[in-house]
Chain A
């Protein structure tokens, strides 16, 4: 254990928001600007982007504005709670603005003001950073927002998702909450962040108090204990179930085309459940990867299997939302841009 976690926390800036206040302020800010406040998705995801509130909502023509915190699990990033900057599970605050308003950058900067950052006292830069998630067949362009040299937000204009060109596009703002909190509270270790402060005594409950145990135990599980064979089996079951659902949806659509009229069945078809299964596959893959159970040659293949599910669901979802035209039938529609073959982690 690091010494830093054993000494009492004395944030130099006691006016700075606690971790939970930070979240509350950002949520309030975006709620006041018309966002639906969603709750974290309850299936393991590697990034806020993978929650259906982003992955599925950015598809199709419906405008949408949403903000939510998403705990994001990346098994390979675990450090047994010993690294002050790295976590197995970190928190993102995700905002989707579809379509992006013209003043989206200004709105974003205002949100920094809302969490107590006086921009005139700081150095802000928007540095090119393009985003690509081959497992989701998704990409966008944008920036990493640098605040006094610290990357605090990923700002992305989505261009494609699930292999489908987006129209309209969405702006995605992903705030790295631990980093921002550590910055605001001026602490060196994530575990020293004051998660909450007792309103009466002012005594802080730290990030370490709340989360250290998960970091330690999940690192042990992910790197040492997870049963490889069972995890593989789990992966395969989820994949098979997801595929079966997609096949059934496909059959349903064909029925419709022969005029049997199953529009109602189409609308109530459990594609959202299929997506949950796809997310499980993605997480199980990451777990197997962290466990060192996937060889280099296998890797590319497994990633392609997960991508096939994600792309299938994206197409079906667009079909389900719309009048059943376009995306779903054009099975072999070439992607706008060739994807990289290999990706380190599904995130």
Chain B
């Protein structure tokens, strides 16, 4: 069976887009082959900045023929007596069979003529040239362009196409480019065109000869190059940086690595600044000694052979020196005005058009952070409110510094570094100053789910207050994220809040946090811009606080209904995401846990851990199944408007099993409650699990929905109580169980 090759030759594709596009193209082609019954043994991708290629191994040369039953005119029309009418002849001709071979089939509409028709399978080449252009055109690009017709869009101009079945060119066309068997090699190191002899491995070897390597090989070559160059400095190692590595892998076709150096005196600048210049602006790897201390060297990844004469190294060193000089100049300039002078300057820096300046934000965050400190302190945790207060006051001042204007990604970090070397208050102890500096430094953490949370509780408090202020304000303006649009990165910030509360085990509930954050806008200019008055929000929050269950249901029912979402629901959804995606709990477990309460992050985590410990046990699988059954029965009862008694009564005519169950639960429940109060959730759950036997027996022997209204209402009351008691730690009816339900 032949191999197939598709190569889209393109001007340099942005590094950040290559991996996703390559994966998408591979999946598209895989699906296309399945859909078109051309099933192939292997489908693999080969991509570089200048090409997306797909190699298909062992494709069917053509679709298999298929036999189809085709129905024609009704028998009444097709025959006059025994004689076929023209209608029958016409159908036979169209179906390609003799009239005598026509069959009769009975359908709900009556008797019809029918024929077996062989549908000839189409050639792979024909299918591919027809359908591939559409697939290429459908690749998603975060930003695309046109260069010929405004309707033709791709990430950058497509300059050549290779499409081959073994040695044959597949005639396809995309955006005015016809496919052939001519590829192109490395821009500078090879001839302009590269003849591809055939689809398959020879494509890869032809490109290798033209100094073009696939992704995995490039990565390996870069790693090897980094290692080799670093080995020339005794005791040194290069700083692992996955995203930088991915970037340089996708900026090169034939990578090599050079080692460069810079003047030792630049090491006086903070490492954060040096690394940012090297990594973000120059895409260099940093080099450190065995203790992790930065060395005056860098590693640059080239898209060419190593430049043995040192010309290239000299160039890179020159550029870096200029950049470092700039950074040093900014650092020195900034010291002329210490941070404490700059808070007032924030009046002239807009935070958000309707939410006011960064000065306004500073005052709000200061209040919110102080409130959080009180909550934290109330439960006996140690926190220094004075430190938080001062840090919040200075937190945004670095936005006015030259260094942050130049290196925006260093916001917060620069403030922390400056606070660490400046006088903040005349009589402040050094310890307090260092903690303030650290609190400012950590204020934007965590920047992703992988990033660490602020180191100290003071940093955690400031980080949460800052983020909650932004989220509350933006939601109140009606600017919540929708779909893939989240220009203010509110999701990331909400994830950060949840993660920080969880890791610092802070005793603050999400509803309190949202309420306080909204409250801090009261009587401000910003409040006048809110879509709904604060009173409206208080009503919404009251409803949401009262109904964790409803939240779980509505979040499930309408994942896209973000248009009216409240900041509380938003944070709860992030908690769900955190439990599921960051901590890896199964989704049904998460729904079960949050169904019993999604306000207290730390508590939800404890319950999730407890449930995880028990829910594989057969007892719990059984109880989960029973809970689901109870919920269904209660739902049916509600639909039929059946009366449910307020409380279970030990009626004379009640079955033995239901009395046993009720009595058992009454006895156990007090102890369960005791465990629950002490947050010994696992013990509580284990105790609940002992009810299994009684529950099973109840469902085996007792019918709930009986005719007798009195008996039925009493049984429903028992179920309602049971379900409530089982659901205090987790809503077990959410657990997906195997077997009978």
Contacts and interface: CB of A to CB of B under 8 A. Distances in A.
Interface stretch (B8-16, B369-377, B581-589): B8-16
A123 B312 contact: yes
B302 interface: yes
Contact of B307 (A121, A295, A297): A121
B233 interface: no
Contacts of A124: 187-188, 303-304
B251 A127 contact: yes
A55 to B, nearest CB: 19
B488 interface: no
Given A126-B11, A149-B282, A296-B349, A159 B322 contact: no
Contacts of B304: 120, 122-124
Contact of A84 (B303, B322, B353): B322
Contact of A183 (B147, B309, B318): B318
A102 B147 CA distance: 10
Given A141-B143, A141-B145, A149-B319, A121 B311 contact: yes
Q: Which range holds the interface residue count of chain B? A: 35 or more
Interface residues of A, number: 41
Contacts of A276: none
A188 interface: yes
B145 A188 contact: no
A148 B314 CA distance: 8
Interface string A50-89: 0000000000000000000000000000000001110000
A217 interface: no
B227 interface: no
A208 interface: no
Contact of A120 (B144, B188, B302, B321): B188
A342 B11 CA distance: 31
**Quick one: which of A119, A148, A169 has the most chain B CB within 10 A?**
A148
A99 B150 CA distance: 13
Contacts of A100: 147, 157
A164 to B, nearest CB: 12
Interface in A288-339: 295-297, 300
A152 to B, nearest CB: 10
Given A121-B311, A149-B319, A128 B147 contact: no
B650 interface: no
B319 A148 contact: yes
B322 A123 contact: no
Nearest to A169: B147
Given A149-B282, A296-B348, A126 B315 contact: no
B146 interface: yes
B329 A83 contact: yes
A188 B319 contact: no
Contacts of A130: 143
Given A85-B326, A141-B145, A169-B146, A126 B319 contact: no
A125 interface: yes
Interface string B273-299: 000000000101000000000000000
A126 B350 contact: no
Contacts of A341: 353
Contacts of B392: none
Given A149-B300, A295-B348, A119 B188 contact: yes
A125 to B, nearest CB: 5
Given A84-B322, A147-B315, A150-B318, A125 B251 contact: yes
Interface string A207-249: 0000000000000000000000000000000000000000000
B156 interface: yes
A255 B157 CA distance: 43
A92 B314 CA distance: 25
Nearest to A151: B319
B133 to A, nearest CB: 19
Contact of A296 (B14, B187, B350): B350
B315 A183 contact: yes
B319 A150 contact: yes
Interface centre among A126, A147, A159, A167 (most CB of B within 10 A): A126
A60 to B, nearest CB: 14
A122 B150 contact: no
Nearest to A189: B322
A169 B154 CA distance: 14
Interface in B573-602: none
Contacts of A127: 12, 15, 251
B315 A148 contact: yes
Nearest to B317: A149
A41 interface: no
B561 interface: no
B482 interface: no
Contacts of A120: 188-189, 304
Contacts of B150: 165, 167
A300 B353 CA distance: 10
A257 interface: no
Nearest to A292: B348
A29 interface: no
A126 B315 CA distance: 17
Contacts of B187: 109, 124
Interface string A125-149: 1111010000000001101000111
Nearest to A171: B147
A256 B500 CA distance: 67
Contacts of A21: none
A157 interface: yes
Contact of A128 (B14, B157, B189): B14
B607 interface: no
A148 B316 contact: yes
A154 to B, nearest CB: 14
A105 interface: yes
Contacts of B14: 128
B349 A188 contact: no
Given A127-B15, A148-B315, A297-B350, 4 more contacts: A99-B147, A100-B157, A120-B189, A149-B315
25 contacts: A84-B325, A109-B188, A122-B304, A122-B311, A123-B300, A123-B303, A123-B307, A124-B303, A125-B251, A125-B252, A126-B49, A127-B15, A128-B12, A128-B16, A141-B156, A143-B12, A147-B315, A148-B311, A148-B316, A149-B316, A150-B318, A159-B145, A169-B145, A296-B349, A296-B350
Interface of B: 11-12, 14-16, 49, 143-148, 150, 156-157, 159, 187-189, 251-252, 282, 284, 300, 302-304, 307, 309, 311-312, 314-316, 318-322, 325-326, 329, 348-350, 353, 357
Interface of A: 83-85, 99-100, 102, 105, 109, 119-128, 130, 140-141, 143, 147-150, 157, 159, 165, 167-169, 183, 186, 188, 295-297, 300, 341-342
Rank and list the top 4 A-B pairs by shortest CB-CB distance, nearest first. Answer: A148-B315, A128-B14, A126-B12, A123-B302
